[in-house]
Chain A
Amino acid sequence: MTVDMSKGGDRAAEAPAPVDPRVRRRSRSAVARSAGGDRWLTVLIGLVLLLAGVGVALLSYGVFGAGRASRPLLDPIMLDIVAAEPLLWRSVAIVGGVLLAVFGLTWVARSVRPEPRPDVVLNGGADTTIRVSSAAAGEAVASQAETLPGVARARARLVGSAAAPALRVTLWLADDADVRAVLARLHDEVLATARASLDLRALPVAVRLELERPQPTPRVA
């Protein structure tokens, strides 16, 4: 029997397994609820209004010709074009209106919808399914995180979808907490236990660090 005593072999054994880039992205997405869709749609609408306003102002000041600036808003030429094909323009208006209404309602629904809190389903055997609720999993992680030295309070919740859950943890640290040590113990003890308990091979985690407010000292002893 031969034993490999080389240092390179040890290093290879200790090296952490490479993390899937998708898992890395999910951990970044779990930091907070994304406002990306709202932001880009608002930018789009803002740009449309800005360009329309600037265009009409330039037209009004005669940049595109004094003749154009002195024409009526409801130009007879345009009215004639619409009147020549009433069915076409009515259809265009109806389709445009329906699209606008559907788009607006979809945006409102996505914007006000609460963030999903997925439950984790464990395989308990052939005819058994164990469902761990999002709240129970979050409370378990938070209560274990609160036992770490330097952590005053903790809150955790599952986010993302049921197929690809992620964990969002908020830690309120004491002023004298060793941040590196807290993060290392959170990773090695709390999150390792959570992954094993929930039977999840990959559980991306987003950790938010806050400082615990100092307790006010009583004015009268």
Chain B
Amino acid sequence: MRAVLRVLAPLLGIVLATLGVLVVIEVVAAWVLPEQEGGLLVPWPEWGRVLAGLYWNDILVRGTAIGVGVVGLLLVLVALTARRADLRLVAPSDDMTVTTSPRVLARLVGTRVRASDDVLSASVTASERRVAVTAQAWDDAPDELRETLVDRVQELLTELPLRRTPRVAVSVQEREGVR
């Protein structure tokens, strides 16, 4: 969403600036050129006649209002979700800030989990609060594989100087077939 906001913000600025310039041009034109028929750049007298024929309870007005509300809600959602999902690490000094991305943590956890001979494949999702691992194991894998994997991930998280240690959730799916 951060990339969307980077594009959206200048576009919104351009829309506002254009709106302001058009208002100034049309008002000044209507003031100094009263004999001018219609608007200079925008046919606002025509729009005025259309609006004069519309009522607040018209379907068109309702639909437009709902559309405007939805666009507003989307803008709010885009802006609120455009935060950086960084993970903070403990820095050697206070004038230093150390961050990494959840993707890096997921890759480290994935490498550690896949290092087990009993694991065929694994997918990992990581955030500041939670690390979730879904591992595919051979059907002859030991019963305590899940606990072993949890311990391995916990060990990795202890090695990393994370400011906040995420919770670990591991699920193991057994795969049919010979190894």
Contact A74 to B52, CB < 8 A, known contacts A39-B82, A180-B161: yes
Which chain A residues lie closer than 8 Å to B97 at the CB level? Answer: 27-28, 30-31, 204-207
Contact residues on A (Cβ < 8 Å of other chain), bracket: 35 or more
Q: Are B95 and A35 touching (Cβ within 8 A)?
A: no
Tell me the chain A residues, 25-73 only, with Cβ under 8 Å from chain B: 27-28, 30-32, 35, 38-43, 45-57, 59-62, 68-73
Q: Are A97 and B27 touching (Cβ within 8 A)?
A: yes
Q: What does the 1/0 interface line of B45-85 toward A look like (CB < 8 Å)? A: 00010011111111001101111111111111111101110
Q: A108 on the interface (CB 8 Å rule)? A: yes
Per a CB cutoff under 8 Å, which of B55, B62, B76, B107 touches A70?
Answer: B55
Which residue of chain B has the shortest Cβ distance to A37 in the bound complex?
B9
The distance in angstroms between the C-alpha atoms of A160 and B114, with both chains bound, is 42
User: What's the least CB distance linking B63 to chain A, in Å?
Assistant: 9
Q: Are B74 and A46 touching (Cβ within 8 A)?
A: yes
Contact residues on B (Cβ < 8 Å of other chain), bracket: 35 or more
Q: Is the interface of A mostly helix, strand, loop or mixed?
A: helix
Q: Are A108 and B79 touching (Cβ within 8 A)?
A: no
Q: Are A53 and B107 touching (Cβ within 8 A)?
A: no
Can you give 19 A-B contacts (C-beta < 8 A)?
Answer: A39-B83, A42-B76, A43-B76, A46-B71, A49-B69, A60-B57, A61-B57, A73-B51, A97-B19, A100-B23, A101-B16, A101-B24, A103-B17, A103-B20, A108-B17, A183-B98, A209-B99, A209-B100, A211-B108
A46-B77, A97-B24 known, 9 other contacts, Cβ within 8 Å: A16-B93, A19-B95, A42-B12, A46-B72, A52-B65, A53-B72, A73-B55, A202-B95, A203-B95
